Structures are given as C-alpha cells and as structure tokens.
Amino acid sequence: MKSLATARFAVLLVFAAACGCRGEPPSDQHSVPVEHALVGHLLLPTGSGSRGVEVLVRTAPSGSEPRTTWVLFDEQGLFSHTFRETLTSITVTAGSEVYRVDAGDLPEVNQAGQIDVGVIDLRDRLMKHRLMVRAADGKPSGDVRVAMFFGPPPVGPVGEPVSLGSRQFPPVALGSEMEWLLPHEARGVYFLVERPSGSGRGTEWRSGRQRLFGPFTSPELPAELIME
C-alpha cells in the first residue's frame, strides 16, 4: 500500500510540473515582432512629383545587417511605411541630405501603432531648377531615364554602372522639360541620362547607353542636356 501511495504521489508531482510549464509565457526566441507604421507629410515647393526628393527609412532587422528602404510619397507629400524591425532613422534627400531624424529623437508609437513624424517642411531649404533633356541633331527621339546625384554615381562591385529603376526614375520623353529640387548652395551635382536599346515593347534598359553630365554647382546648373 505504501509503495502504491508513493507512486500516486509521484504521478501528481509530474502532472503539476507539466501544468506549471504550460502556464509559463513563451520565450522571446519565438515571439513575433510587432508591426508598426511610420507616417509623415512632406511640404515641398509648389509643383508635382518627387522631383529628385527621396524618403529613406533605415531599419535594423534582428541578427541582420541594417537596411535602407526607399519610400514613395504621393502628390500631397504623404508617405507611410510598415515595418517589423527596429527603426533607426529617417532621412530625406534632394541629391544630398536635407533632413534627418534618428531613433532617439523619433516620437513614441501612438495608439494606432504609428510613429508619426508629422510635417517635414522643406520649402525654404530647396530651390527649383528646370531642365530639358533633348536628342542631339540627327539622333533619334524616344524615352530616357534621368537621375540626379551629388558626387559621382555609385558603381557595382566590379565597376558596373548603376541601374536606374523605373519606379524611382520613370521614363521621360526626350524634348520634355523636367523640374528638380535641390539645396540652394549645391556642389558636385551630376545628372545621369540613360537611353535604352530598342524601342516600344522591345525596349531594353540594361543594355542601353548612359551619359554622365557634371559636376555642376547651383549657379552653373544647365538649362538643357543633349543626348547623343
């Protein structure tokens, strides 16, 4: 009888221990990162489109290298970016950096799960510059992509030229005028113009030609660029 009672007591101890384990909260190793949204509102000089202005959000995924995400904004200057990683900074560039706020200066997450940086007013920090890109005499017309850089454009690991993505640098027709926004006292401004090979549905950008113009300072900015 005594051995039977002892066995029953041991079973109860095991059962109690199992229940206790089930009641413990899950370890951090298996927790799912909380999703937040970064929202804000850019105020730019009057005009339409991004005109060379970019919103860059930098995050640090757990156990991975920090990464930078290019965030679109609409015609009213409103932008939103959803993320799960640790937010480290938000930067606005117009060729060079014109606004930056780091993690320690960002507002707290609100009840809607948003980090709202509010209005970023850049109207006094930026100037407009109108620029026409046209084909040289006797050269074919068509579409090009145009990018503005402060300093020479970056190159790839083996020296290959930078590729201009269509979302960030949408095609524009040669002979049309573009407007750019840049700081009042800009230096080392370059324009990279990319012409594809082929036309229509067979257009191939990666095998096309690129031409680099510059460097320019604010007073030297050209009124037109001529593409061979």
Q: Enter the pTM of the model.
A: 0.76
Structure confidence by residue, pLDDT tens digits, 8-36: 544 444 444 444 444 545 444 444 457 88
Structure tokens at 13: 């101890």
Q: In the beta sheet, which residues pair with residue 79? A: 40, 73
Q: Where are the domains of the chain?
A: 32-121, 126-227
> What CATH number was assigned to the domain covering residues 32-121?
2.60.40
The per-residue pLDDT of the chain, averaged, comes to 84
Q: In the beta sheet, which residues pair with residue 170? A: none
Nearest one of 224, 220, 228, 214 to 175, comparing CA atoms: 224
Gap between the Cα atoms of 39 and 57, Å rounded: 11
Q: pLDDT digit of tens for each residue in the chain (228 aa)?
A: 544 444 454 444 444 444 444 454 544 444 445 788 999 999 999 998 899 999 999 998 776 788 899 999 999 999 999 988 889 999 999 988 999 999 899 999 998 889 999 999 999 999 999 999 999 999 989 999 999 999 998 887 888 888 787 777 889 999 999 999 999 999 999 999 998 876 555 566 766 788 999 999 999 999 999 998
